[in-house]
Structure 1
Amino acid sequence: MQEKKLLMTFKNTLGNTFTLTIDDPSDDLTEQNIIDAMNLIKEKNIFLPKGYELAQCVSAKVVASDTTKYDLEV
């Protein structure tokens, strides 16, 4: 089973990083969609990591991982 996650990283006004994770991002997601979403999140002050406003959009990436589950009796 393959899982995908969108990781959007910001810095707050204290300089600490904050990563927002979105499960199963759309396959047709574009770089501009991500930039627009990150700017909107920053502008609206939706999140206050450690009590500080987001000050900067740092990076974004889509991470795909394969997971193999085994039904073992322990």
Structure 2
Amino acid sequence: MEIKKKLIMSFKTLSGKKISISVDDPRENLTESEIKTAMNTILSKNIFKVNGEDLDSLVEAKVVETGTTEYDLVL
């Protein structure tokens, strides 16, 4: 089984729409403080716009693991 990890950082736009930015294969020893710093930098530097709209606030951050099992269906 192949396990993949993704860091998902969620923000709200000025109109209240929730958007997420994901990063594949985050470092194993990534800290909550580092994630908050990165998210605050994204917010303060106005790095991303969603449909021309600025990000307004932090919502959440999480690391999601997914497992994939492939099956050989050739008969």
The TM-score bracket by the shorter chain reads over 0.9
Q: CA deviation at 1:70?
A: 1.9
Query: What secondary structure does 2:57 align onto?
Result: strand
Give runs of aligned pairs for residues 57-68 of structure 1, distance below 5 A: 57-68=58-69
Q: Corresponding residue for 1:16?
A: 17
Q: Percent identity, aligned pairs only?
A: 46
Q: CA deviation at 1:72?
A: 2.6
Corresponding pairs, count: 74
Q: CA deviation at 1:73?
A: 3.2
* Aligned-CA RMSD value: 1.2
In terms of fraction of residues, the more strand-rich structure is: 2
Q: Corresponding residue for 1:28?
A: 29
User: What is the TM-score with the length of structure 1 in the denominator?
Assistant: 0.93
Structure 1 regions of 5+ residues with no counterpart? none
User: What is the TM-score with the length of structure 2 in the denominator?
Assistant: 0.92
For residue 8 of structure 1, what is the amino acid of its counterpart? Answer: M
Structure 2 regions of 5+ residues with no counterpart? none
In terms of fraction of residues, the more helix-rich structure is: 1
Query: What secondary structure does 1:34 align onto?
Result: helix
Q: Corresponding residue for 1:42?
A: 43
Runs of 4+ in 1 over 6 A off after TM superposition: none
Q: Deviations over 1:5-28 (max 9, x none)?
A: 000000011110110011000000
Q: CA deviation at 1:51?
A: 1.2
